[in-house]
Structure 1
């Protein structure tokens, strides 16, 4: 019998709670799915604060590699330049889940490519991150033996920046969070009896929230009780909400929810008249997949990743067409029977599928040869 692959998943960015969106959610969901596999012996790289939480995934502290207690801003440098010596030859696979791989590590290296925004849209990131991370990110892309891209759109952007890397890249789409799908819906009292549209994501400029708020200002002229709900994490950088945002907030036609639990998010998806995804650039567009998996009508921009995720199950509009977005919302605010979400034609993708495709990509790139 072939022994399981000793797989180190780099999770140093996961907080003590184990909870956040984006790459944190990806890392935790993938960890659970890899741990369920008989052909993988999963180990996790963790910060001291999160070591106990992550040990619960892998069944004990002996499967956790602890980072030293250092300031958070120095962790990427530690992971890139000093980690390989600590790891030695203990692992068959070392898998970076957030931009970086240890330089010189003695293992089959895997890097998940969530997007190329650090290179495509550097203005969206703080100057220190631009200065300190872009070079190591590109070096890690070149180093990785297997690159796991979350969408074909992201693989295309990878190929534009690193043409030689494309041959080592596999597309492994994401899945709706298990926690979200299994959460008990938690109603939002402020929305009781009111029709609402939903935007999920942060307020960074690439999310294009100003177009939706401008469209909503036109919607409320015909539907004074309609609410735009914006669910997102705390602001982490530059934010843009548009000139209509303050008035909508003051009138009660806009509700911002920050740091909501999965139950609340599920309820919002399941009760929204429409979910709006107007982003200018995405690596995958998980809110679009979540909306469709939970049965919500969806409108997205023409961003390639969003179109890839949603296909013909969503309406697609130009990102700057304010009146087009307003018209789409008004159609969905009509009686539900006129705007039902299309039925799912394919089985729901799960995180076990994501793990299986990831392992398949690594083995296909010569693990063990």
Structure 2
């Protein structure tokens, strides 16, 4: 164990979000897997792997992997992970997706992406399933905020939200700013590839990327587009979205706004297609009510696409002055920003250049280094101190925020 002479510490990272479906959290975990083994050759890493992942996650010599059949977001992970995964010899556990498993016999670092389910549950999934998810994820988030040995917040905005929700957690929270993959880069779009997605090559479009969830503000996207371009039939709106319960309402809104014939919904696409869409778009519109980080903002900038996004939460932090910001609740303000980009080629060119500079500061290697610094601080405390702290925290059942 850590602190016993020259023994090598083992860090377990839950990597099960790297699976068959792309997601922002999977990108974050990939940033750890790709860089940590090389940055810390003095540590061993145990990676918990999704059973559908093809092959190993890493070929580094200080990495071992273990397939865990149970889903990342399921009861087994939340309440009895040590029973379904062999954590023998693990000195530090890294829970990478907001919630902290119960019953861990070692220190735990939790990556918190956002805490909307605690602060603004109405922005997340609604209905019966939303209520179930609210109880489930809210439970795991509260445990993480209350009991994790360290919290890795993917943005300063998330760190501030955690501190506001539960002030004692601030001392255990560090910012590990997310990055953007080198796969997102400028390029020339092939017309045939756009046509294969059902788009008209050469026809200008505004792009929006995000899941079907209230916080993504897709009705606001449509209203702003209609204000800006309702009278200009030359411009389309392309929304890349895993369609869900709200999809019918968006279809009706498009008809009511008179833009139904110019709204193109695309299902979740692979990374190559997403890069192509960023490269081809005139502007990315991302007016979320809140984001833990906001991957599309960074991805679009990395592809040389101008960005219009919200003036709140993590989005100004991620944009770093390279985007135009608007109040996400003010469709007219969003429309003004869209028109500014579309009507002023010099402004758009300047935004493209500024975005490419900004993303140079959003490197996954730096993200991994920030997490490694957290690991070393927690490991340096030693097991004796840790177990005393764990006992007192796990039995503080009356903690409220």
Bucket of the pairwise TM-score, normalised by the shorter protein:
0.7 to 0.9
Q: Does 1:64 align with 2:70?
A: no
Q: Does 1:304 align with 2:313?
A: yes
CA distance in structure 1 between the partners assigned to 2:302 and 2:184 by the alignment: 10
Q: Does 1:336 align with 2:345?
A: yes
Q: How many residues align?
A: 360
Q: Note the aligned Cα RMSD (angstroms).
A: 2.9
1:86-125 alignment runs, 5 A limit: 86-123=85-122, 124-125=124-125
CA distance in structure 1 between the partners assigned to 2:150 and 2:281 by the alignment: 39
Match of 1:10 in 2: 14
Match of 1:32 in 2: 34
CA shift digits 1:245-304 (9 cap, x unpaired): 246797531111112121221122122211111101111111111122222211111222
CA distance in structure 2 between the partners assigned to 1:211 and 1:316 by the alignment: 14
TM-score in terms of structure 2 length: 0.80
Match of 2:385 in 1: none
CA distance in structure 2 between the partners assigned to 1:106 and 1:183 by the alignment: 49
Instruction: Answer yes or no: is the 8 Å Cα contact 2:49–2:67 preserved in 1.
Output: yes
- The 3 A distance-change label for structure 1 pair 136 and 322 is closer
Match of 1:45 in 2: 48
- The 3 A distance-change label for structure 1 pair 14 and 262 is closer
Match of 2:386 in 1: none
TM superposition shift of 1:129: 1.3
1:277-288 alignment runs, 5 A limit: 277-288=286-297
Match of 1:363 in 2: 376
Q: Does 1:161 align with 2:165?
A: yes
Q: Does 1:228 align with 2:237?
A: yes
TM superposition shift of 1:199: 1.0
- The 3 A distance-change label for structure 1 pair 302 and 207 is same
3-state DSSP class of the match of 1:110?
strand
Match of 1:84 in 2: 82
CA distance in structure 2 between the partners assigned to 1:301 and 1:195 by the alignment: 22
Match of 1:217 in 2: 226
3-state DSSP class of the match of 1:282?
coil
TM superposition shift of 1:167: 0.5
CA shift digits 1:9-56 (9 cap, x unpaired): 1123443x3x41121222233222223332443221134333x53x24
CA distance in structure 2 between the partners assigned to 1:40 and 1:223 by the alignment: 59
CA distance in structure 1 between the partners assigned to 2:155 and 2:377 by the alignment: 18
User: Which residues of structure 2 form unaligned runs of 5+?
Assistant: 383-401
User: Which residues of structure 1 form unaligned runs of 5+?
Assistant: none
